[in-house]
Structure 1
Amino acid sequence: MSFKSKWQKTKWLLKHRNLRRHIPRTVPFNRKNLRMMLSTYPIVYFKPTGGTGGFGIIRIKKITSGYQTKPQTVKSPSPTLGHLHKKLSRFSGRKAYLLQQGISLAKTKGRPFDIRVMVQKTNKGKWISTAMCTKIGKPDKIATNYHQGGRLGYLHQTLVGAGYKIKSILRKEAALKRLGVTVGKRFDSNRRGFRELGLDVALDTEGKLWILEVNTRPAIYPWKHLKGRKLYRRIRTAARQYGRVT
């Protein structure tokens, strides 16, 4: 089952007391909210409510001479908030967009990364966090996605590269698994029919976990690129239970 509205999914998560603290500040795009977000956070992301693969995302940064936007790799200045709002409105057209608090991503060997948690439902209706990997971004890109030139990595290796010790890594892994299962149950309580979810989770420089997005039709094929394909096979085995693969 696919459900594209990022805003609706965010509202579901915000109603859960334990999940709320893991959600970056997110609001619909309009001039009032743009002013509020940029007066509160040094970096804000402008995201389509229905986009996938990191496409259509713009990073907005407040600078001395106004504001700086960065869609992919090219930076563009806006001297005033009004100029910025017009630019973003032209870019969005009639499509709905969100503004999201920017998270300062942890880095592994100098490269920013976030974490993908694959959560799947068994034929007995139980949610299980079946696999995790990291998406390691290019230094000049604003998104870590595979489609944006990022590469996949193993969680333990990536966290070692970020300076974490084994005990801390195991605690983070357990927390991510719990987070995935909790989100699965939360989605079930709002709408039936979900059998798989892909959580994009940021680990910030202070060690906190943030849910950036929940994908209801997460891609499986990029997992093939992880050496050994162990996680890919695990995901496919779980997916056979609900008929996504044969």
Structure 2
Amino acid sequence: MKYKSSTIKSKWLKTQWLLKDPYIQKYVPHTLPFNQRNLISMLDDYTSVFFKPTNGSGGKNIIRIRKTASGYQSQLKTSKTSYSTSTQLYRDLNRFAGSRPYLLQKGIRLARSNGKPFDIRVMVQKTKQGAWVSTALFSKVGSPNKVATNYNQGGTIKTFGKTMKGTDFSSTFAPSLELELKRLGVAVGESFDRHYKGFHELGLDVAVDSKGRAWILEVNTRPQIYPLKALNDKSLYHKILSYGKHYGRFK
């Protein structure tokens, strides 16, 4: 059986869908298409801004921009460049983008687990009966000097419970966050169904900031689960596969 689940590449289109839902919109960080005016307005409002390819995946070509005492600093992977004016910064980003569309997103200060930044993947799948279920939560723990936490950017996959134990949040925070994120996953699945047909699974990348507030960084319509094989306990991997069989997910 062939894999059947709709794929939407454009992060901007998916962001617009999320913003149309009153329950979900409060989870969406301020996001705008990249142009000079939007860059200047975002840098006026926030100390850090992310520059992301609209159609990118795997954390590739994401640049973090930070305000500094002498202007701005951009960081791609571990490489940093300084600028004294927003015009110079814009020129460089524009050259980097070429003809590819990019987005600007408010930077979220990620909570840390044992000193390392992390975000959470919420896996949402449809049952045979067509109901959305949040089937798995796990985390991607980044290295402190990298821009993205993705597995293929050197991030490490950890269980949700283990990651939360390494944070400064209270012991009651993790169960309530888990409940909140599972509810959010189902809401996003139902929201996406209202805009387009044929989705069977989604992967939400959710940041938790230092105050414990959750933010949807992105919704993946073709989420990869192979990194879960790196865990000693393969139960999450097998659970996702058992839900995915009926739409052709076998790995």
TM-score by length of 1: 0.98
Deviation at 1:244, TM superposition (A): 2.2
| Partner SS state of residue 213, structure 1 | strand
1:120 pairs with 2:125:
yes
Q: Residue type of the partner of 2:12?
A: W
- What SS class does the counterpart of residue 139 from structure 1 fall into? coil
| Aligned partner letter, 2:136 | A
**Aligned pair partner of 1:204 in 209, 223, 248:** 209
> Secondary structure of 2:92's partner?
helix
What letter matches 2:53 in structure 1?
Answer: P
CA distance in 2, matches of 1:11, 1:159: 30
User: What is the deviation of 1:66?
Assistant: 1.1
- How many Å apart are 1:227 and its aligned residue? 1.6
CA shift at 1:71, angstroms? 0.6
- SS class of match (2:172): helix
Deviation at 1:2, TM superposition (A): 1.2
Tell me the secondary structure at the aligned position of residue 129 of structure 2.
coil
Partner of 2:79, secondary structure, is: coil
| Residue ranges of structure 1 left out of the alignment (5+ in a row) | none
Q: Classify the secondary structure of the residue corresponding to 2:66.
A: strand
Are 1:55 and 2:60 counterparts?
yes
Distance apart, 1:70 and its partner CA: 0.2
1:188 alignment counterpart: 193
* Aligned match of 1:146: 151
Aligned letter for 1:236? L
Cα deviation for residue 82 of structure 1 reads 0.8
TM-score (norm 2): 0.96
Q: CA deviation at 1:93?
A: 0.3
* 1:129 matches 2:130: no
CA distance in 2 between counterparts of 1:169 and 1:25 reads: 25
Shift of 1:221: 0.7
Distance in 1 (CA, whole Å) between partners of 2:30 and 2:116 is 24
User: 161-170 or 46-55, which moves further after superposition?
Assistant: 161-170
Query: Paired residue for 2:3?
Result: none
3-state SS of 1:13 partner = helix
- After superposition, give the CA deviation of every residue in 1:111-130 in whole Å (9 maximum; x if it has no partner): 00000000000110000000
Q: Map of 1:154-165 to 2, 5 A cutoff?
A: 154-165=159-170
Aligned counterparts of 2:103 and 2:194: Cα–Cα separation in 1: 24
2:48 is the alignment partner of 1:43: yes
- Which amino acid in the other structure matches residue 80 of structure 2? K
Root-mean-square deviation over aligned CA pairs: 0.9
2: CA distance, partners of 1:194 / 1:119: 10
CA distance in 2, matches of 1:240, 1:223: 17
1:5 to 10, 16, 19: 10
Aligned length: 246
Indicate the residue corresponding to 2:35 in structure 1: 30
> Could you tell me which residue of structure 2 aligns to residue 105 of structure 1?
110
CA distance in 1, matches of 2:113, 2:61: 25
Paired with 1:56 and 1:142, the residues of 2 have a C-alpha distance of: 10
Give the drift of 1:234: 0.2
State the distance in 2 between where 1:174 and 1:225 align.
25
Structure 2 unpaired stretches of 5+: 1-5
Deviation at 1:145, TM superposition (A): 0.3
Indicate the larger mover: 12-21 or 162-171. 162-171
Are residues 1:68 and 2:73 paired? yes
